[in-house]
Amino acid sequence: MDKHWELFKKAARGEKTDQVLLGLIVDSPWIPGYAGIDTLDYYLDENLWFDINMGLRDRFPEAVMIPGFWWEYGMAIEASAFGGHLLFHHDQPPSVEPFSTDLQFWATHIKKQNPETSGLMPLVLRQIERMDHRMEPYGLGQHIACSRGILTVTSWFMGVTTLMESLISDPDTITPILEKVTDTIIDWLDAQLKRMRDPDGVMVLDDLVGMISKRQYQKMVEPHFKRIWNHFEGKIRIYHNDTPCEHLYPVFKNAGFDVFNFSHKTEISETRRLIGENIVLLGNVAPRDLGVFGTPDQVYQAAWNCLKQAQDDGKLILSFGGGVSPATPAENIDAMCKAIKEWNFQH
């Protein structure tokens, strides 16, 4: 049994634990650089992928990696299913160019995509199956299915400008498109969970939601957003959005997710005030300004300050206010581990 993961599940559900956890979102923007390898090798060599992810557990023993053992290709998987043009690189995840920025083209041609056959999705599903067997003898598994969110996925195949303008100027045209994307995301998450021996939850990542007004969110996005979370009721539901968007926090409280990875630019106490008492917070050390460019001492102090802010809250999982950024030094993650270890010892 993976004791780290069992403890994370309790914390993510808001249950009382005897220690504060450190949870880090790690993926291919950071891992290949940390390991000193070509990004393409990380994607193509499953033995290398497995060894690196196993090594993270030993290198940072106080941290829970979220989702952990994650097969992902940057932003490319969901975009590829809708025909996004992928450009692969040796030193970073794939970049994506829109297939068409013509809204009317998508109004005519959009359809729900099948994760068993579309884009990179079937390759990832097969990788999940193969690695699930590889992990079983170690008492480990893949537990969290992941997808980019509704606006992020749509922006990659039609362009950010086309998407954002249509939310305001042509809601009747963009709404059926968002419905098809939502249907695809739900099917994609379901397909991943079915490949996992011990599935526990889902994580959705969508920073673009934070760039629209409260009115536009409630009118154009919230119904689709809630449909995803409601579909996975009973599972742990994690939402990553590190765009500063305090104006949306009060409406997020009823969205249906359980854990919120949010912007470091909003204090933990203010986020708690705005988002309510029930959602578990995942943050809140600055991922770039401190995680990448800070010293270990600065990272340690920032982590300690976060723990002090939330010591009476009971629903904080210490993390960066976002994923682990590219070029984050291992020594700065060590500083986070040191802070959580010493905090738990003293409290």
Give me 291's structure tokens: 């995680």
Give the per-residue pLDDT at 2.
Answer: 80
Give the per-residue pLDDT at 347.
Answer: 87
Domain residue limits, the chain: 3-326
* Through-space distance between the first and last CA atoms of the chain, rounded to whole angstroms: 26
Residues 75, 236: Cα–Cα separation, whole Å: 22
Task: Give me the architecture of the 3-326 domain, per CATH.
Answer: Alpha-Beta Barrel (3.20)
Give the per-residue pLDDT at 1.
Answer: 58
Give me 57's structure tokens: 């557990």
For the full predicted model, state whether its pTM sits above 0.95.
yes
* Parallel, antiparallel or unpaired: strands 144-148 and 95-97: unpaired
SS3 of the chain: helix, strand, coil, percent, to 5: 50, 10, 35
Could you tell me the CA-to-CA distances from 73 to 17, 45, 57, 106, 246 in Å, in that order?
Answer: 34, 13, 21, 24, 29
Give the per-residue pLDDT at 281.
Answer: 97
Residues 139, 203: Cα–Cα separation, whole Å: 22
Nearest C-alpha neighbor of 269 from the set 277, 17, 337 = 277
Give the number of other CB atoms < 10 A from CB of residue 96: 20
Could you tell me the CA-to-CA distances from 196 to 56, 64, 129, 145, 159 in Å, in that order?
Answer: 21, 18, 7, 9, 33
Give the per-residue pLDDT at 314.
Answer: 84
Residues 342, 328: Cα–Cα separation, whole Å: 22
Residues 141, 101: Cα–Cα separation, whole Å: 40
Per-residue pLDDT of the chain (347 residues; tens, 9 = 90+): 588 899 999 999 999 898 999 999 999 999 999 999 999 999 999 999 999 999 999 999 999 999 999 999 999 999 999 999 999 999 999 999 999 999 999 999 999 999 999 999 999 999 999 999 999 999 999 999 999 999 999 999 999 999 999 999 999 999 999 999 999 999 999 999 999 999 999 999 999 999 999 999 999 999 999 999 999 999 999 999 999 999 999 999 999 999 999 999 999 999 999 999 999 999 999 999 999 999 999 999 999 999 999 988 889 999 999 999 999 999 999 999 999 999 999 98
